[in-house]
Structure 1
Amino acid sequence: IKYYAEALLTLLGGDKVAYARYPQFGIGPRRAGSQMHTHHAALNLLLCGRKRWLLLPSRYAFWSHEPSVSKWKAWQQLDHVIEIEQLPGDVLYVPEFWGHATLIEEDASTVAIEFIPSLSVHA
């Protein structure tokens, strides 16, 4: 994993990216998901299952504490929302500070790596 993380750092910005966080592994049942939120840029690999994403460009992003399953239909109607279906083997890049929520449609396993920009690291 270290080799791939270093290669991705170079690909995604060279000296603009300070480091990649350790991979995050996730397992979830149908109808689980994450509420609308933001963070640094990340790559998200779906290993198995099926997952839907709602993405909002950073200028329209927001945080919610509401479960995605209860707010999904309302969030689908937002201006500027982009909806994506992720299938096994798909890698989704979420740009820095873009709003996003997920909803699992079939039991799923995922791996995500977040990239921390150099400007966020204090010397």
Structure 2
Amino acid sequence: MPRNRSLPPHLEIRRAGFFWRRRLPRSLRDRGEAVSDRPDKQSATRPKKVFLCFSLRSHVLRDAKILARRLTEMSDLVFAADAETTMAIAPEVQERLLESLARFEIEALERMRAVAAPRSREAAAQDQGRHGNPP
């Protein structure tokens, strides 16, 4: 399925709501397992693709975009530090770090929404109109 270009990178919409999904770079992938679903030699030596995938627990596009940008920037920093070999952290620890930070960001946004004052009808209609949905 082609990616929706109106959404930020790594943001997907599914029936359950918005998800953030990002493939881990080769340096963080598990190199010990070989893909064995195809009998040819080339696929057996190719490492499998590993993704981080998190439900953003939201159906609101504005909140999902904010959170997706935060998660993308955070993962970009970790991946860049790993590529520059400035981060002396094992790949397993980096993956756990990214998962923990992503879960923290999602939980923080949920708490922020829970304590925020309700929006007025006018503000909600304006947000809908901005995203191309009729009120």
Q: TM-score range, shorter-chain basis?
A: under 0.3
**Bigger proportion of residues as helix:** 2
**Bigger proportion of residues as strand:** 1
Give the number of the structure with larger relative contact order, counting CA–CA contacts within 8 Å between residues 6 or more apart: 1
User: TM-score, normalised on structure 2?
Assistant: 0.19
User: TM-score, normalised on structure 1?
Assistant: 0.20
Structure number with larger C-alpha Rg: 2
